Structure 1
Amino acid sequence: MRDLPAGVDETALRRGLRAWGVAAVRLDYAPLGFGDYHWRVTDTGGRHWFLTVSDLSRKPHCGDGPRAAYEGLRGALDTAGALRAAGLDFVVAPLPGRDGSTVQRMDGRYGLSLQPWVDGSAGEFGQRLGAAERARVMRTLAALHRAVAPATARTPAPGLPSRSGWESVPPGTDSHPEVGPRTAAARALLRRHGTALRRRLAEFDRLVGEVSARADAPVVTHGEPHPGNLLWGPDGEVRLIDWDTCGRSFPERDLWHVAAREEGGFDDEALSVWAVESGRTPDPSALELYRLRWDLDDVSAFWELFRAPHEHCADTEAAWEGLTGTVARLVNGPG
């Protein structure tokens, strides 16, 4: 996120870091990604750490409401820690605090997590990977998908985590007052394309039924291995960061992020690398399901933001660009 979280200051962060026994001498805000808030921490010994603040009121994929989201987030990060402990060195996992928890509560809204600083070249969301990079990621995902699932691993359903938000998407948007600078524009956009969006939602429901009938055993998935969650080392090795979405699911939940083509369809060469390494064959319907799920979930999340009180800032403008681009993709197709 580009803007700082409301009600969070350095005093609160320094106090929260005590849960890991870290005494900070410097906190540098890192405006990365969209959703969580990040700082680079320097402690009294000169060591560097990566601190994340999660808004538990805006993590429907972890749970409905702050309390459930805390439990879901902790389960996901505990799973990442267990995978790392099992020898998967490409897993950049948060550390448990002195009480054993990977997530520390900070008032009723936020959760803190901490991991060692890892040097490398971070990717960016939307970045296009080369063929060699895609193959490297696919081999890494195959290793993850072969791993034994830790007991803490959740099993997220293939349905939309924000499905309840679609109850307010057109035609039911007219009743929402203008509570921010983008409310009216977002409402008009969704009303204008409401019929097409409902068709895509019906398509999604059909795919959920088709894929859910599969007898394949689920695997451990990262959930969002897009380029923004990849960290490249100088030796060409890749590490996976940001594990709040991990859980047991169909492998296509991960694969589409790497294999999707901007013009539509999927990269068969990249998928074949995973197939050889994993011994399984990707399901085209499941790839389409998770690609569509991503966009539908984004529309719901962006509308939830704009129908709630909000201000004009860098993050809301990024959300507006995300909403308009995602709606265009859903209505007109990739490309």
Structure 2
Amino acid sequence: MTDDRIQTSDDRTPTGSDRTPTGGARTAPSAPADDARVRAWVREDFGIALDRLDRVADGADEAATLWRGTAADGRRYAVKLSGGGSPAGLVVTARLADHGLPGIAAPVRTRRGGLWSEHAGARLTLVPWVSDARALDDGAMDAELWVAYGELLGRVHATPVTDELARALPKEEYRHEGLTAFVRDVDQRLRAAPPPAADAHHRAVAAEWGAAADRVARLLERADALGVELRARPAAPLVVCHGDPHLGNVLCGGPGRVWLIDWDDAVLAPRERDLMFVLGGVLYFAPVGPREQRWFFEGYGAVADPDPDRLAYYRTVRALEDLAHPAVQAADPDRWPEAERVAALEIVRGVLSPAGLVEQALA
């Protein structure tokens, strides 16, 4: 066993998120964990014996490994070993679920009452596996589910910010220096002469990046300018935000019910931090149109005009993240398998496409 410490929600202060504006490169667990070892950790830390553990490939978090675990009684769990992000989302979901908010899956507590344990330099968490139906599946999100999605996010934003949440959650500061440094490093590497070992995927992503160099430079300038402007303003009201509520993090739970999962990026921020994912969306293959927005706000409630500068800032930062991280994956044959590099290259192309987030951010 690499690390037998068990954390509770009060044992440490979260250090930030891999998707907040300060995020740069993510941190992977210090050592790979085989399935047998993970099952042993779950049994020892949470008192649950898993008969089966299946790795899940969905998701873009390179700092985490996700499994679907099945216990002898048939109950299923999302088992996650994460070396990035912040444990603040565990504190938030535990509180929301304890107060009866539907659509929130509470983390399973350890035998010592904690929300996670630590192994291999990463957090081990266990959450009930609530649904196999993804909102991104074709035809999954009808009008009733869009309304339910709006209701759920509205209730999250209306959550009173207790002292516990204020201590646990990072606060929006419109800072992105870590991300800027990361993007500039990627820019330097991909625009340099390709190394002798460069393969077709490296050359392809370098070509895509080089063709977009002017747009990347404009995004960096835009993020800096907007950050300066927003930091100089009077502070906006901060609410509990999920931080990454695109449809890939929404599951369908039957008629009129949705689940909001993957709270690693939870943050105290203006509501535009989350609404950006509905006002246009961030996924080039799943844009959110006026009809879906109308359904969403039927559930969410009336909102005064969202601040355009905050929306622009969040779109710009997200565009840089969604472009730079998969570009690194596509270019690196030593760390990433072929299939993941091919998928990462397609993401880069999608983010740069006319329907992609780069064009949205620069519009």
Q: Does TM-score exceed 0.5, indicating one fold? A: yes
1:176–1:158 CA distance, 2 compared to 1 (3 A)? farther
Distance 1:234 1:126 in 2: 15
- SS of alignment partner, residue 28 of structure 1: strand
Q: Give the drift of 1:258.
A: 1.9
The alignment-based identity, stated in percent, is 25
Kept in 2, the 8 Å contact 1:84–1:91? The answer is yes
Q: Which moved more, 1:283-292 or 1:214-223?
A: 283-292
Structure 1 pair 264–34 and aligned structure 2 pair: CA distance change class (3 A): closer
SS at match of 1:216: coil
Gaps of 5+ in 2: 1-28
How far apart are residue 87 of structure 1 and its match?
2.6
- The alignment status of 1:46 with 2:55, answered yes or no, reads no
Paired residues of 2:104 and 2:259 also in contact (CA < 8 A) = yes
* 1:1-335 superposed matches below 5 A: 7-17=32-42, 18-35=44-61, 36-54=64-82, 56=83, 59=84, 62=85, 72=86, 74-108=87-121, 110-119=122-131, 121-124=133-136, 129-149=141-161, 150=165, 151-160=167-176, 162-171=179-188, 173=190, 174=192, 177=195, 181=199, 182-212=201-231, 213-260=233-280, 267=290, 269=294, 272-273=297-298, 276=301, 280-306=304-330, 308=332, 309-328=334-353, 329=356, 332-333=359-360
Alpha-carbon offset, residue 214 of structure 1: 4.6
Deviations 1:225-275 (A, max 9, x none): 111111222231122111101110111111121231669997463575477
What is the SS of the residue equivalent to 1:91?
coil
The Cα of 1:193 is off from its aligned counterpart by 1.9
> What's the C-alpha RMSD, in Å, of the aligned pairs?
3.2
Q: Partners in 2 of 1:292 and 1:127 — Cα distance?
A: 29
Measure the CA separation in 1 of the matches of 2:138 and 2:318.
Answer: 13
User: Scaled by the length of structure 1, what TM-score is found?
Assistant: 0.80
Do 2:230 and 2:310's aligned partners in 1 also have CA atoms closer than 8 Å?
yes
Partner letter of residue 170 of structure 2? R
Q: Report the alpha carbon displacement of residue 323 of structure 1 after superposing the two structures with TM.
A: 1.3
Distance 1:233 1:44, change over 3 A: closer
Deviation at 1:33, TM superposition (A): 2.0
Which whole-Å CA distance do the structure 2 matches of 1:234 and 1:146 have between them?
24
Deviations, residues 56-85 of structure 1 (Å, cap 9, x unaligned): 2xx3xx2xxxxxxxxx2x222222212222
**Deviation (angstroms), 1:178:** 6.0
> 1 CA distance for matches of 2:322 and 2:139?
18
SS of residue matched to 1:53: strand
Contact 1:49/1:117, CA 8 A, preserved across alignment: yes
C-alpha separation in 1, matches of 2:340 and 2:182: 20
Give the total of aligned pairs: 314
Structure 1: give runs of 5+ residues left out of the alignment.
Answer: 63-71
Deviation at 1:45, TM superposition (A): 3.2
Cα displacement string for residues 31-65 of structure 1 (whole angstroms, at most 9, x for unaligned residues): 322224322212233322221232x2xx3xx2xxx
